Chain A
């Protein structure tokens, strides 16, 4: 551990490498976290199956890229967007619709059950091995091989950027986007003004599933997917949204990039097996900081 730290001090380019990797991966985390912030802010649903949607998108991309179909993962993104949208629609109408008015823990537990079902079905279908969707791209070298950037990471960064821009355009300009924003501000007032909030909820949840699906494709290209990695992605999204606050797109992007970077550095210093511990530790840390910040304003019987 200390060896790794001193190595970071001795080789400055290594820092740059980790920073770049972190930022590029963080951009993909931002997508899933943005979906969670959307669902959380609009419908007040804490979706613990978020990460499993991501992994599911990744597995669909992996299946399409394998022999019988041989579709390039990047080309399959629109297909996965549609498939996951329909899937989200189905989940909304079977489960989420019935828990939306209940207390918050109900939605948390229901989506946790959903997460177990998804990860286990994926485990039965694909087995517990890690998989990668092959994009067949090169790795670029800079400064005489000191710094390497895989083309896939650059492409996925750009794609995440494009998808993010498209979604924020959609939220600003389209009629549905306006309805979503109105519902998140005040659902009752929106209903009085003639917005069909049920439709808005269904659309928001489906859109979230679709965004997660796209994030999953990008993850499957640049990293690995495995049926049980979903929970880590869910916790990542929760860390990002809790530290940024929902309805704050810039905050979500910044904390996603920050999380990606911190994860890369801690993975290097402590070893790869501590990646999950880092994410969870950050979650606990963020909650403690929030707690201290709030306890300054809170007045209780002592």
Chain B
């Protein structure tokens, strides 16, 4: 009962913090929204990287795909896309607020579904690859996607698209997107918390521990791998759609398919927090976001060097992450106990 109450207080306070943080610190609303997005990135990466042992460097593919699909749907519902993008966003069309919100809602739904379809298609290509081949293959797919979108004039090519204006004041706009980010991150967390309590997680862990044996035990590994990837794709697609609208301008290389920024951040956040745990990615994302903002503010010019050094130190010296370290230090908190009854009886028999 007591434990249940602590849990309620714990989750409740996080939710309250999420709701009231932008009201208390209105200057940091964008940063806070980004923080929720980072948590979503880390959580979705961990489905494959942590639970299933498939280290993807190309999950950012779904982020960018979701962003572009959402944008095209949003514009395409009320306007001709080719004509809109041909002006590189110089001619802005005013959307009524009804058009704007229905556009975003439909766009996000379509983006999520389309990303699942993309995940299934690419799953066929990349899931035969193992270990480092998988990492490099997914990286290649993500970079190639960015280059291809950059060459596609229908969606604005390398010049990008600027998104429809938000019908309302700048403060309302920030709160709207903050809430979208917040809700999508919380939904992801709740979904994964449920998912990790089912047999599905056990199947993923079996694939991570030994894929051949898992196959021999009758687990349809390819099916599980594809479904797990679709879950990541679903949430990443939504987050991409939100992020595109939040920044107001999308472009293939830096915003939509940033393989070396967001793409590598999500891996790093999970490694920092601890792979294969539910809370590890969340903690890692919060700490990483803090470090990143501090270095970007105080070490400007050297921030990337600091980031590279952080990757090396993290990977080489601290690979188990914060949660892994905590589990080693206080195993009893995580329900890992030595079975002392057995060892005790053995001693009794001997004595």
Measured CB to CB, the residues of A under 8 A from B are: 46, 95, 98-99, 102-106, 108-110, 112-117, 120-121, 123-124, 231, 235, 238, 242, 274, 276-277, 280-281, 283-284, 287-288, 291, 294-295, 298, 300-302
Contact = CB atoms under 8 A, between A and B. Distances in A.
Interface string B224-249: 00000000000000000000000000
Nearest to B215: A301
Nearest to A48: B136
Given A117-B305, A120-B308, A284-B137, A112 B264 contact: yes
B183 interface: no
A283 B311 contact: no
B315 A274 contact: no
Nearest to A235: B140
5 contacts: A102-B319, A105-B132, A108-B55, A121-B305, A294-B128
A110 B55 CA distance: 14
A98 B55 CA distance: 20
Contact of A280 (B144, B219, B301): B144
Contacts of A98: 316-317
Contacts of A103: 131
Contacts, number: 112
- Complex A-B, nearest 5 residue pairs according to Cβ-Cβ distance, in ascending order: A113-B311, A116-B308, A117-B308, A277-B147, A120-B304
A124 B141 CA distance: 30
Given A108-B135, A114-B308, A280-B143, A291 B128 contact: yes
Interface residues of B, number: 42
Given A277-B144, A280-B140, A280-B144, A110 B311 contact: yes
B316 A110 contact: yes
A238 B135 CA distance: 12
A197 B220 CA distance: 41
B133 A242 contact: yes
Contacts of B129: 287, 291
Given A95-B312, A124-B301, A105 B143 contact: no
B190 interface: no
A105 B140 contact: no
B315 A109 contact: yes
B14 to A, nearest CB: 30
Contacts of A116: 260, 304-305, 307-308, 311
Contacts of A280: 140, 143-144, 147
B309 A113 contact: yes
Nearest to A299: B215
Nearest to A123: B304
Contact of A46 (B136, B220, B304, B310): B136
A108 B271 CA distance: 14
Contacts of A109: 55, 267, 271, 311, 315
Interface in B201-215: 215
Contact of B308 (A104, A113, A295): A113
A103 B305 CA distance: 25
Nearest to B307: A116
A contact patch SS: helix
Contact of A113 (B125, B133, B315, B319): B315
Contacts of A110: 311-312, 315-316
A116 B261 CA distance: 11
Contacts of A112: 264, 311
B55 A277 contact: no
Contacts of B219: 301
B319 A284 contact: no
Q: Which of A46, A116, A231, A302 neighbours the largest number of chain B CB atoms within 10 Å of its CB?
A: A116
A117 B125 contact: no
A125 B131 CA distance: 35
B131 A104 contact: yes
B309 A117 contact: yes
Contacts of B137: 283-284, 287
Q: Which of B215, B260, B271 neighbours the largest number of chain A CB atoms within 10 Å of its CB?
A: B260
Interface in B20-57: 55
A124 B302 contact: yes
Given A284-B137, A287-B136, A301-B219, 9 more contacts: A104-B132, A106-B316, A113-B308, A116-B311, A276-B143, A277-B144, A284-B125, A295-B128, A298-B128
Contacts of A124: 301-302, 305
Contact of A301 (B218, B302, B308): B218
B131 A105 contact: yes
Contacts of B316: 95, 98-99, 106, 110
A231 B141 CA distance: 14
B222 A300 contact: yes
A253 B262 CA distance: 35
B136 A283 contact: yes
A238 B147 contact: no
Contacts of B128: 291, 294-295, 298
